[in-house]
Amino acid sequence: MLYIIIASAIVIIISYLVGSNMAAVRIAASRGTDINKVGSGNAGSTNILRTFGWRWGLICLAFDAAKGAFSVLTGYLVGLLFSHLGLVSTDIRMDLMCLGVLGAMAGHLLPIFHGFKGGKCVAVATGGMLVLFPIPCIISFAVAALLIIITKMMSVGSVIGVLLCAALVIISEWGNAAACIMAATVALVICIAHIPNIRRILEGNERKLENLAWDKAAKKKQQKQK
């Protein structure tokens, strides 16, 4: 039991620290802006997309998803090391990988390096779950993308996509306690983080993704040259 606690603590700490590295904050800072003071004020890829264009939004999205994927790898490697040393059984690897995703989400939500002002964890959760459960995640991503195209609202696709992914994981992994708990926790955290968005959707005031440039800075520069 002691070694299980130690392994879990290592995974949580590493994943949390990785999750606390906010791409949105760094991208905005590199362009002379505080991401918490522009747009929605959220340190996530959607706000980066609206503020700087699709190019930077996709870069931020990829970085955040990579944090989730790395957290799964962390859990796997720690589990592999401890099981190789005979300290824990190989069965614990899945538990540690799922724990890694939650650790990275905690870091992204409350980043220690950025005053505990983080994002909403959608990309981080997606990256982690894509590694662990690719088929449910791909199906959910396709549905989310379709909803975003139809509604032009990122929040609609994000919330419904995550809920669908969590449901598919729980159904397909029923009996796997770690996977089911992780999926349910992911869905709960992201829904809570999106409560303001859900409220605005119901009121008909949610912002839409319309007329966004590939790179807003480049577009403004071209307009000035004309």
Report pTM.
0.90
Written as one letter, the residue type at 53 is: G
With residue 148 as reference, give the H or E element that holds it.
helix 134-151
pLDDT (0 to 100) of residue 218: 58
pLDDT (0 to 100) of residue 217: 61
pLDDT (0 to 100) of residue 216: 65
pLDDT (0 to 100) of residue 88: 87
Low-confidence ranges of the chain (pLDDT < 70): 211-213, 215-226
pLDDT (0 to 100) of residue 209: 81
